[in-house]
Amino acid sequence: MSLTMRRAMRRIATRGGALLAGALGSGAAWASVNSYRFLHVTIDTPWHIFLFLMMGVFAPFVLMVVLMWRNSIRKRELAKAQGAAAAPAEPPPS
């Protein structure tokens, strides 16, 4: 290992990145990160990917429905308030 690499690792370790320095210095750590065994691919993995993407697709639709509902309530209350203000006042009893 070169001197500059050692200095860089020491600098990272002294700044609180001891875990990162260990990963940089260890070839086995990089091999485990780059291997398929690190990902733990099982038969359930496509199902988990599908659920994750489904949440990303349907979340905007749920947000859109909530915002439309709130806006319709606001418009309804505004129309009620305008209708009450525009209604003629009843004349006082004589």
The mean pLDDT value for 11-19 works out to 58
Cα Rg of the chain, angstroms: 32
Q: Which two tokens stand for residue 11?
A: 């600098």
Per-residue pLDDT tens digits for 31-69: 555 666 666 778 888 898 899 999 999 999 999 999 999
Model pTM above 0.85: no
Q: Domain map of the chain by residue range?
A: 1-41, 42-84
d(CA 38, CA 23): 14
37 touches 28 (CB < 8 A):
no
